[in-house]
Amino acid sequence: MNDVDEITPQPIVITELRCLRCGGTWIPRKAKMPGYCPKCNSPYWNKPRRVKKSEKKDENRIYPPYLCCVAEKRSEKDKDNV
């Protein structure tokens, strides 16, 4: 009977899961990892979204100056020639 008195209850750690696609959070019913997000039904809930190739190219792209700046430069060149 002394063995029963010495046993203390152990705390259970429950982790809250978060979808990296939609941001939904939930507490799983089972110990194994779920196959999909219960909110958006994405099977890739634990993988971050990839950046599109076109968006990567736009980050490094240098856009031409505005037309008003080009027009001012042309007028300055014309003044120099006069």
Residue 63 falls inside a structural domain: yes
Measured between alpha carbons, how far is 38 from 26 in angstroms, rounded to an integer? Answer: 8
**Minimal CA–CA distance to 32: which of 21, 11, 42, 46?**
46
What percent of the chain lies above the pLDDT cut of 70? 60
Residue 1 falls inside a structural domain: no
Residue 67 falls inside a structural domain: yes
Name residue 34's amino acid. P
Residues whose CB falls within 8 Å of the CB of residue 25, separated by 6 or more in sequence, listed in order = 16, 17, 18, 19
Per-residue pLDDT band for 51 (boundaries 50, 70, 90) equals: confident
Measured between alpha carbons, how far is 16 from 27 in angstroms, rounded to an integer? Answer: 5
Residue 2 falls inside a structural domain: no
Measured between alpha carbons, how far is 13 from 47 in angstroms, rounded to an integer? Answer: 23
Q: Which domain holds residue 69?
A: 10-81
pLDDT attached to residue 4: 57
Residue 31 falls inside a structural domain: yes
Residue 15 falls inside a structural domain: yes
Q: Could you tell me the pTM of the whole model?
A: 0.51
Residue 23 falls inside a structural domain: yes
